[in-house]
Amino acid sequence: MISPRPGLAERLSRMIQVPTVSAEYAQRGPQPFEDFVTLLAELYPLVHEHLALERHTELGLLFHWAGTGAIADGPVVLMAHFDVVPVDESDDWSHPPFAGVIADGMVFGRGALDDKGPLLVVLEAVENLLSDGFRPARDVYLSFGGNEETYGHAAQEIARVLRERGIIPWLVIDEGGAVVDAPLPFVPGRAAMIGVGEKGVMTLTLSARGEGGHASAPPSLTAVRRVARAVDRLGPGTFRPHASTAIRRMLSRLADRTPGLPRYLLRLLAATPWLTARVFAALGGEPAALVRTTVAPTMQNGGTAANVLPSQATATINLRIALGETAQQTVLRVRRRIADPLVSVRVIEAGEPSPESPVDGPQFALLADALAVSHPGVPAVPYVMMAATDSRHFHRFSPAVYRFAPLEMSNAQRASIHGVDERVEIAALERGELFHRTLLQRLG
């Protein structure tokens, strides 16, 4: 029987104390990231002794754990990232965000949930298994990136290298879903929400030119007003709602766990995708984002002084493309909705949505089996990941890519991701380690 090492919370605390803020890489330089790599070697000596480590780009770590060869139809890739988002100094944290304070059964700090906590439970599981002389039946790769929050290329390069070597992962697991309470407003209990698909990401700029001059005698349609009108036309109803297969499967699995009248409602929604699309769209927020491409204006720019009409104005739009749609269709739809040839639409970046990974195959069954040990009674439920993860670089050539961090997260904890008082329960970390340890033990 394997006994996990004590001091798990303290190790996460030390990880949090290293400010690996990728958005501030230019100011901070590479040293915090190199310090973090050095720290991993100190905290996980057996991992570094028994697994081969490759560096890909400045910020990509790829560990290879050679299996016994009992199964040779592709390795498992366990992913996480060790960079974090910046902290707004005006925010009122209960504890300093990079202090890694341990209090009230929790570890506080930036990265506790996103994504140093999930990274830690992977390494804890591997270190504990190595201490017992264990080798997995399949090869295992640990893929850790240091620039996920800035859409960096570390994970992209790791995926490219594996594909170039002819290594097709049998299973890929990255951040994304979690063990949550009440996954829908009328669904009681806990569920392990596993992202079987991921929305695409697109950034557009809208720009328009106009006559500059003094603000005392403006024309009827300035550059600023033209761009503002275009942004206003890109409302929530820009894209039609559509319930993907993953959403229908989610509703069906939740129905099996829900008593009373809500069970019949969930089954009705699972059987009538057109109704699901309309109901979720009407609910707004996360339910609406599950069934449609979302449009979010994030930045506007134009002008040099309060009393000067700018000759040019721009707006930046962030879109998350729904499964089943394409980047090309998305741009065409935006242009049609704006309906103004004098507004230029330029694509800054575009990533297609992923295909859906299967829920009726051995990979998803393995996740459910591991959950039965680490989180007894918590069902594995498929859903659509709305944010972008590093795993998007694998879904083009790997048959089974899932987005799931095996940690309990309350609504308040989920809100703390990229926010204030990010924190994780120590007990949740212990169960997360057990999940990965069980998964690796059962690869055979």
For 307-347, the pLDDT digits (tens) are 988 899 999 999 999 999 999 999 999 999 999 999 999 99
Which two structure tokens, joined as six digits, stand for 297?
A: 């204006």
Q: How far apart are CA 256 and CA 3, in angstroms?
A: 35
Contact predicate 200/321, CB 8 Å: yes
Strand partners, 6: none
pTM: 0.93
CATH code matching the domain that covers 200-351, chosen among 3.30.70.360, 1.10.10.60, 3.40.50.880, 3.30.390.50: 3.30.70.360
- Burial of 108 per CB tally in 10 Å (0-12, 13-18, 19+): buried
Residue 189: which residues within 8 A CB-CB, separation 6 or more?
181, 182, 257
Q: How far apart are CA 221 and CA 233, in angstroms?
A: 16
Q: Is residue 185 over pLDDT 80?
A: no
For 340-382, the pLDDT digits (tens) are 999 999 999 999 999 999 999 999 999 999 999 999 999 999 9
Residue 152 pLDDT grade (very low, low, confident, very high; cuts 50, 70, 90): confident
For 396-423, the pLDDT digits (tens) are 899 999 999 999 999 999 999 999 999 9
Q: How far apart are CA 168 and CA 162, in angstroms?
A: 7
Host H or E run for residue 367: helix 362-374
For 114-142, the pLDDT digits (tens) are 999 999 999 999 999 999 999 999 999 99
Residue 193: per-residue pLDDT:
97
Domain ranges of the chain: 8-198+354-441, 200-351
Contact predicate 87/399, CB 8 Å: no
Residue 217 pLDDT grade (very low, low, confident, very high; cuts 50, 70, 90): confident
With a pLDDT cut of 70, the percent of the chain lying above it is: 100
Q: How far apart are CA 27 and CA 217, in angstroms?
A: 43
Contact predicate 17/99, CB 8 Å: yes
Strands (E) located in 41-170: 52-56, 60-65, 76-81, 102-103, 106-108, 140-145
Q: How far apart are CA 256 and CA 346, in angstroms?
A: 46
Contact predicate 83/148, CB 8 Å: yes
CATH homologous superfamily, domain 8-198+354-441: Zn peptidases (3.40.630.10)
Residue 58: which residues within 8 A CB-CB, separation 6 or more?
30, 33, 146, 154
